[in-house]
Structure 1
Amino acid sequence: MTSYNAGELFAEIERVVKSELPVEEGLLRIIQYCATAHPHPNWAALRTLNAAGDLRQLQQWLETIMRTMPPPAPITGLWFGLFNPTMEDRVTADLHLIGAPYDAMDSQWLFRQRWGKGTPYASSTVLDSIYQVAYGNEDGLGNDAEYPLALAYAALAVRHLAQLIGPTILGDAAQRVLHVGFDSGDFLCIGAIRKNGLVFSRSSAVMA
């Protein structure tokens, strides 16, 4: 749970992700939204996050997966999952990638014919920084920072990669529908990569 109006916050994240704002500018918009609703000194540190290097790392991560263990053509849905692994005795936030044949009419599509076992974690420095600032001290922002910023940044980053290396992600599939979200919570359907590029979904939950 967070201190915000959950519906309004999610709608703002979706609006920013499905816009033309660059990743860093979009993330700053969400930080400003959150800071206005919940003033706290830690927002200052979060405003200094540098996404440029992390986006290059995420591009390399995704290109490596698509080159070394590409999903077969029937895998038309991709799930970029946010989770909290423990790395070297330290809890962090990161992304992993799995997929399955996409069916907008079946909410359980991801659990059928799943692809992606053994894909490496993204090792995102920005997601790690968000987590460490959020939980670095007892009176930190906690989930009031992790939830909106991890979701917004991950979705903005995936949108950026879809627009940058769309054909690599698409592979031999007719389309690949992109979802970003917490493995144990909220998610956003960004849209679908097709031969003509990224098409945003009109829905937050399914490709429509």
Structure 2
Amino acid sequence: MKQICITTSSIWINSLIRAEVEPAQALPYLTELASNLCPHDDWQKFAAINVCRDATSFNGWLIKAIETFTSNQPRDILHFGLFNPIYKDKEGQYVTLSIYLTPKKNQSFDQWGTESDSSQFHYYDSEVLDNIYSYAYGRPQSLGNSAEFLLGLGYASSLVLYAAQSFGLQLLATSTSQCDITIGFDGGEIETLGTVTRSGFQPKSRVN
């Protein structure tokens, strides 16, 4: 089975970000691109994932998370990281895909793309991301990382982008004049979605 390389996935995700594709259309947008290059029956399953409740749930979680940060705490960056938490149930261990949020003072990410102060981390369990992971690795012939990276990061980027556009100044600390919004898998490259200033949120798609 043909695999989709990280470089190609990153190009498609950047096109989604620059086009400001809404979360509801993110999976159909990306799966159409992917299915043309790498035909597979599972792309239709990903495109059909119901995302309608996720954006509202995510926005509520984000505001509560922001409210826990000290109002004058310097934060040059709000970083949204994707990672694979391991859970246990009656049948044993299982892995899924989730998002965390942490404020950062500068661009000095460590090897995992995060800082060591875990007390500042806030975690969001997305049913959509869970489904993406489940479909990506659900059977031996599944699409695996080709789907997880492209659709997980692409969908999460769209989710964060639209939340940032909704909340704007609420994401900015009183002690800073601007704050970058970034996203990425732990251990991977970090993508900047835009910047919050005193004028509001500016997506990178609108920066000259």
* Aligned partner of residue 87 in structure 1, secondary structure: strand
Identity within the alignment, %: 27
TM-score (norm 1): 0.85
Give the Cα–Cα distance (whole angstroms) in 2 for the partners of residues 92 and 177 of structure 1.
27
2:172 is aligned with what amino acid?
Answer: L
Verify: 1:185 aligned to 2:188, yes or no.
yes
1:86 is aligned with what amino acid?
Answer: I
1:115 is displaced (CA, Å) by 5.8
Give the Cα–Cα distance (whole angstroms) in 2 for the partners of residues 70 and 34 of structure 1.
42
1:152 is aligned with what amino acid?
Answer: G
1:160 is displaced (CA, Å) by 0.6
| 1:21 aligned residue | 21
Q: Which has the higher strand share?
A: 2
1:201 is aligned with what amino acid?
Answer: K
Give the Cα–Cα distance (whole angstroms) in 2 for the partners of residues 123 and 5 of structure 1.
26
Alpha carbons of structure 1 residues 120 and 77: separation in structure 2 relative to 1, 3 Å = closer
Moved more, 167-176 or 52-61: 167-176
| 1:53-202 → structure 2 map (5 Å cutoff) | 53-70=53-70, 72-88=72-88, 89-103=93-107, 117-172=119-174, 173-201=176-204
1:72 is displaced (CA, Å) by 4.0
1:96 is aligned with what amino acid?
Answer: Y
Give the Cα–Cα distance (whole angstroms) in 1 for the partners of residues 31 and 25 of structure 2.
10
1:112-136 deviation per Cα after TM superposition (whole angstroms, max 9, x unaligned): 7x66625331011111110000011
1:142 is aligned with what amino acid?
Answer: G
| 1:42 aligned residue | 42
Higher relative contact order (CA 8 A, sep 6+): 2
1:198 is displaced (CA, Å) by 2.0
TM-score (norm 2): 0.85
Structure 1 gap ranges (5+): none
1:31 is displaced (CA, Å) by 1.1
2:201 is aligned with what amino acid?
Answer: L
* Aligned partner of residue 117 in structure 1, secondary structure: helix
1:191 is aligned with what amino acid?
Answer: G
1:4-45 deviation per Cα after TM superposition (whole angstroms, max 9, x unaligned): 254333122112112232222233111111111111111111
